[in-house]
Amino acid sequence: MEKVIIIRYAEIHLKGKNRSYFERALATNLEKSLKGLRHELHRMSGRWLVAAFDEARTEEICERVGKVFGVHSYSVGLLTGSGMDDIFRAALAVAPEEGTFKVETHRAYKNYPLTSMEVSAELGGRLLAARKKLKVDVHTPQNVVYVDVRENGSALVFCKFLRGAGGMPVSTSGKGLLLISGGIDSPVAGYMMAKRGLTVELLHFHSYPYTNEGAKEKVVTLAKLLSPYTQVTRLSTVSVTHIQEAIHKTCAAELNVTLLRRFMFRIAERFALERELKCLVTGESLGQVASQTIEGMTSSNAVVTLPVLRPLVGFDKEEIIDRAKEIGTFETSILPYEDCCTVFLPEFPAIKPKLSYIEEEEKKLDVPALVEEAMGTVETIDL
Ligand code: ATP
Ligand code: MG
């Protein structure tokens, strides 16, 4: 028998071609997430098995598998032969020493000589005889020994279903560009879209020297924390310093943020189109700050044609914070560093500026030249 990690995916919606596409994407992503750890990945109808790994690193493997989207649940168990003696030996290895238990059997192999009930009864009896401190309780057992009899003369034996990250394998929904700040919201937005199968490349705007190296380091750390989920291992940065200075010098102060955001969207779209990314993703949430009103979003959307996904639009800040804590980005997000949005922040930002007024003010700037200059500052960091 061999120690394995059994990986299950939700099979609903998986039909025809779609199914093998999904399965292959999941396998690719599992391989990526297990990079650097010795292992083999085997297919077993409706499951993937991680095998041939260093048992001392089981926990580390589980932790990584637990972050791969598309994994519905997983279990650490034993792969053994499907004869009762083999199943019994494996059950002894995974079953607890004492307490109450029951056996639950599932047969993928329908021609197996025993029914599921018979396997459970036989195995339960043997376990009881072997472990005097075990007791059967079929209604509320403290432990369950699961047996999964497979087609090819093998069986899987395990005790726990661990919850996977859910969602769909990253890449199965195409590619987008996450506008990532150093704040709490955008990393969560990236996580949520990756969960729906989107590959999210990362773009960060800085205003060096108004924002410092620390601010950049913070975003790099956030991107690294996200990468087990998003599987994206690079981050691009663009300077918007010259744009902020131009806006500050030329336009109505109350529109500083609104105008900057329009530039961010334009630059992001240029960047996305050059890399064949099909949408933009932001961490905006309706009404959260002055620029996140319908008018604010309309003003930013007006300068791009790519769809802008805002997965947090209906979330309360508390909900976003809870999610940030869950995925482990919160502590980094709250470190105190300047973001480019806070540089030149006007005392009274316009909350519901009219588009015509915004466009009028913007005419005072050479928009294409400013965007072009920004594109010349793109840097890409390998995480
Ligand atoms: P966050 O917590 O993500 O920083 P926020 O509540 O601070 O969001 P804003 O500063 O208005 O809100 O930013 C709204 C969204 O715009 C962010 O979620 C992010 O997607 C994008 N954004 C803001 N600043 C930057 C930046 N410096 N670089 C890249 N994207 C940014
Ligand atoms: Mg912010």
Ligand 1 and 241: CB distance under 6 A: no
- Cβ neighbours for 317, distance < 8 A, ≥ 6 positions apart: 184, 285, 288
Q: What is the mean pLDDT of residues 193-219?
A: 94
Cis peptide leading into residue 349 (ω within 30°): no
How does pLDDT run across 224-235, given as a tens digit for each residue?
999 999 999 999
Ligand 1 and 180: CB distance under 6 A: yes
Whether 151 has a pLDDT exceeding 90, the answer reads: no
Ligand 1 and 288: CB distance under 6 A: yes
Confidence of residue 115 (pLDDT cuts 50, 70, 90): very high
Ligand 1 and 186: CB distance under 6 A: yes
Ligand 1 and 219: CB distance under 6 A: no
Q: What is the pLDDT of residue 45?
A: 78
Q: In angstroms, what is the span from residue 12 Cα to ligand 1's centroid?
A: 35
Q: What is the mean pLDDT of residues 204-212?
A: 92
Whether 208 has a pLDDT exceeding 70, the answer reads: yes
Residues 304, 196, 274, 374, CA torsion sign? positive
Q: What is the mean pLDDT of residues 268-288?
A: 97
Count CA within 13 A, CB hemisphere, residue 142.
9
Residues 235, 241, 242, 245, CA torsion sign? positive
Whether 312 has a pLDDT exceeding 80, the answer reads: yes
Q: Rounded CA gap, 9 and 332, in Å?
A: 31
CATH class of 175-382: alpha beta
- Segment of 5-14, 211-220, 307-316, 335-344 carrying the highest mean pLDDT: 307-316
Atom of ligand 1 nearest to the CA of 289: 11
Ligand 1 and 184: CB distance under 6 A: yes
Ligand 1 and 244: CB distance under 6 A: no
Q: What percent of the chain has pLDDT over 70?
A: 98
Ligand 1 and 258: CB distance under 6 A: no
Structure tokens at 348: 């009274």
Q: In angstroms, what is the span from residue 199 Cα to ligand 2's centroid?
A: 22
Q: What is the pLDDT of residue 14?
A: 67
For a mutational test of ligand 1's pocket, the pick from 181, 212, 220, 379, i.e. the residue with the most ligand atoms closer than 8 A to its C-beta, is 181
> DSSP per residue over 102-166, as a string?
EEEEEES-TT-SS-HHHHHHHHHHHHHHH-TTEEE-SSS-SEEEEEEE-TTSEEEEES-PEE---
Does the domain at residues 2-163 carry the CATH identifier 3.30.1330.40? no
How does pLDDT run across 329-364, given as a tens digit for each residue?
999 999 987 777 677 888 888 888 899 999 999 999
Which of 181, 178, 163, 186 lies closest to 320 in space, CA to CA?
186
The structural domains of the chain, with segments of one domain joined by +, span 2-163, 175-382
Q: In angstroms, what is the span from residue 284 Cα to ligand 1's centroid?
A: 7
Q: What is the pLDDT of residue 20?
A: 86
Confidence of residue 161 (pLDDT cuts 50, 70, 90): very high
355-364 burial string, b = 16+ CB within 10 Å, else e? eeebeebbee
Q: What is the mean pLDDT of residues 256-277?
A: 97
Asked whether the domain spanning 175-382 has the same topology as the one spanning 2-163, the reply is no
Ligand 1 and 263: CB distance under 6 A: no
Q: What is the mean pLDDT of residues 295-301?
A: 95
Count CA within 13 A, CB hemisphere, residue 295.
17
Mean pLDDT (the chain, rounded): 95
128-137 burial string, b = 16+ CB within 10 Å, else e? eeebeebeee
Q: Rounded CA gap, 338 and 322, in Å?
A: 23
For a mutational test of ligand 1's pocket, the pick from 179, 316, 342, 377, i.e. the residue with the most ligand atoms closer than 8 A to its C-beta, is 179
- Cβ neighbours for 36, distance < 8 A, ≥ 6 positions apart: none
Q: Rounded CA gap, 345 and 228, in Å?
A: 34
Q: Whose CA is nearest to atom 16 of ligand 1?
A: 282
Amino acid (one-letter) located at 121: A
Q: What is the pLDDT of residue 12?
A: 58
